[in-house]
Every structure is written in C-alpha cells, then in structure tokens.
Amino acid sequence: MSTGPLSRPRAADANRAGRARRLSFLFLALVVLALAILASVAFGSHPTSLSQVFAVLNGTADPEIAVVVESRYPRTALGLLAGLCLAVAGTLMQGVTRNPLADPGLLGITAGASAGIVTATAFLGASGQWAAVWWALAGALTAGVLVHVIGAAGSAGGPVRLVLAGAVVSAVLGAYVQAVALSKPQVFDSYRYWVVGALGGRNFDVFVSVLPPAVAGLVVAVLLSSGLNTLALGDESASALGANPAVTRSGGLLAAVLLSTAATAAVGPIAFVGLAVPHMVRALAGLDFRVQIAFSAVIGPALLLLADVVGRLVLRPQELMVGVVTAFIGAPALLLTVRRMRGAT
C-alpha cells in the first residue's frame, strides 16, 4: 500500500469530504431543532395556529391566545435544557465507561433523585415544585458522588467497577424508595407523577434552579472532549500521549453527574434519550468526542421536544407523559441505528 505523496491528497480529500458531511448533518439537525421548538410552542391541548403563534411573538395577538402560547415557554425551555443534558451526559458515560449501553441512570442519578424527593416528602414535610427540585438535585448529586467514590476505590478501579458500583447504589436506593413510598400514601401520590418524567407543570423557576449545574457540566464536558479522544485508545496509550486517564475519567464522570442531575431534578427520569442519542450521534458524526458533544447538544433537545409534542397531540385534550413517549420513540430509533452500524462494519 502506497504511503507516498500521492496518498496525501487522497487523505486530504477524504478529510474534507467527511467534514462537509458532518457540517451538512449538523445543519439538518439544527433545522429539525428549530422546527421542534416552533412545534412545542404552537401545539398543545388548546389548538393554536402558526399565524397565532407569530402574532404572539409580534405582540399583536389576542390576550387569551397570548396566555395559552406563553404558558408553553417554560416547558419548551426545560425540554431544551433536559434534552441537551441527558444527551451529552449519555455521550460522556458511554465514552468514559466504554460501555455502549451506559446512560445517566448507570451512575445512580435517577435513584438518588427519587430518594431525595421521597425522603424530603416523607420525613421533612417538604412540598411544592421548588422543594422537589432542590431535594432531587441534592439526592442525585449525592448518589453520583457516592458511585464515583466506590467505583474509584482501591487499585482495581475502572469502568467495570464503576458500573458495578452504580448498579449496587441504584438497587439499594430503589428498594428504599419503594419501601417508603408504599408505606406512606401521601408520598406515593406526589412521587408517582414525578417518576414518569414530564415537561408540563413546571415554571421558569425550575429552569433557573437547575441551570448552574447544567452549565458547569457542559463546560467541563467541552474542556475534556480532547482528553476523551485519547482515553478511547486505552489507558496505556492515553498515558503515552501525555494524558492523565484518571483525571480525564473523573472529570468526565463529574460532568455527566452534573448534567444528568440537572435534567432529572427538573423533569424527572426520562428514558432512552441518554442511551439512544449517543448511538445516533456516532453514526452521523464519527468518533471525535468534540464533534459528538456538539451533535448531542442539538439532537437531544430536538428528540425530547418532538416527543413532548407527540405526547400532547395523541390524547388531546389530555396528554401523554414525555417519559412514556421517549421510550416508544427511542427504542426503535436505537434499534435502527445499531442495525445500520452493524451493517457498516
């Protein structure tokens, strides 16, 4: 095989073609995201037309229509934030653990948030949306740190130990949540709505309360994206290239914990976004984590907002929780992506 001067233009052409293809996919994803945002504001239990939505944006709409449309702004903002957080956290989790089935729930985030809400409701008398968010945030963050401490303990730490630690913590907290919720009916009534996962019924206060950990997690993820590329080569190769695998892994896990904690505390546990989106992203963007994070930050919100719109329309005037819809949408999408990847190998 020739590696001389003639092969260099071919490699450069291939790189340019790959870059153009990724930019085309990213532009298409941005268009889909823009349409998803518009659909999230336009469609709901109360029928509104696109012309009425634009009239609200221009300030010329009927006050009654304006109230209806503006009531959808918080759930759209939360859908954007939660979808971004879950998708990027899933990408980080699958990269750090080298496990294609990893998602934010692997770190005990969902179980920790559930335990926080149940504990505060049952024993501390907490009530209301604001209290639920903060207790879910505290519980999820505590669980994520605990999993990291257990998984990194000893000399045999690594992805496998981390996965086992997450499974153990999730099992223990899940049993605790079930025991408390089933023994206290008032706790179960408030918990059952949150545990399904929904964007509705929240306001901008919830968005503001979870924004700091979400921004911090995204910043850490972007800063570590190059290090994750070297980590994918293995610890020995990463060390030979001058990287510190332990620091990169810990930072990636910290970012995943912050991102998934913010999303789970705000809208409850939502399945398949953190699991399915990274597979879609790798099929479109390749293996560079810098590109994967950018794609995840666009595709994740688009998927979640579209799922929420579907949930609002299929049972109008009632609605189906977005956590249920993402399971129906995410599972086939994941299967199709995996089949495509297998066919390409």
Cα separation values, 6 from 2, 3, 17, Å? 8, 8, 18
> Residue 8: what pLDDT?
59
pLDDT at 129 over 80: no
Establish whether the linkage from the previous residue to 317 is cis, with ω within 30° of 0: yes
Question: To the nearest whole number, what is the mean pLDDT of the chain?
Answer: 82
Q: Around 67, how many Cα atoms within 13 Å sit in the side-chain half-sphere?
A: 2
CA-CA distance, 135 to 115, in Å (whole number)?
Answer: 9
State residue 84's pLDDT score. Answer: 95
Query: What type of residue is 215?
Result: V
Q: Given pLDDT bands bounded at 50, 70 and 90, which one contains residue 91?
A: very high
Looking at per-residue pLDDT, the higher value among 328 and 302 belongs to 302
Of 131 and 149, the one with more pLDDT: 149
Between the alpha carbon of residue 3 and those of residues 10, 12, 13, 148, the distances in Å are: 11, 13, 15, 45
pLDDT at 244 over 70: yes
Identify the residue with better confidence: 166 or 241.
166
Q: How far apart are CA 141 and CA 210, in angstroms?
A: 12
Q: What percent of the chain has pLDDT over 90?
A: 21
Token digits of residue 171: 């099992």
CA distance 343 to 345: 6
Which residues have a Cβ under 8 Å from the Cβ of 220 and sit 6 or more positions away?
251, 254, 255, 258
- Reported as a single tens digit per residue, the pLDDT across 311-322 is 888 887 788 888
Report helix angle 159-183 to 185-196, nearest 10.
140
Write the CA distances from 113 to 195, 210, 318, integer angstroms.
9, 13, 27
Encode pLDDT of 200-222 as tens digits.
Answer: 888 888 898 889 989 999 999 99
Average of per-residue pLDDT across 12-28 = 80
Rounded to a whole number of angstroms, the distance between the first and last alpha carbons of the chain is 21
Residues 6+ apart with CB under 8 A from 255: 88, 89, 92, 217, 218, 220, 221, 224
pLDDT, position 298: 95
Task: Note the pLDDT of residue 122.
Answer: 83
Per-residue pLDDT at 33: 95
The Cβ of residue 168 has, within 10 Å, a number of other Cβ atoms equal to: 15
The count of other CB atoms within 10 Å of the CB of residue 183 is 10
Per the document, the length of the chain is 345
pLDDT at 155 over 50: no
Per the listing, tokens 């998708």 go with 87
The pLDDT of residue 300 is 94
Torsional class of 320: left (φ above 0), alpha (ψ -120 to 50), beta (otherwise): beta
Give the residue with greater pLDDT, 268 vs 234. Answer: 268
73-87, 91-105, 235-249: which has the minimum mean pLDDT? 235-249
Calpha distance 276→279 (Å, rounded): 5
- Residue 334 pLDDT: 66
Averaged pLDDT, 63-91? 90
CATH superfamily of 72-344: ABC transporter involved in vitamin B12 uptake, BtuC (1.10.3470.10)
How would you write 236-305 as a 3-class SS string? Answer: HHHHHCCCCHHHHHHHHHHHHHHHHHHHHHHHCCCCCHHHHHHHHHHHHHCCCHHHHHHHHHHHHHHHHH
Cα separation, 231 vs 183, in Å, equals 46
pLDDT: which is higher, 92 or 235: 92
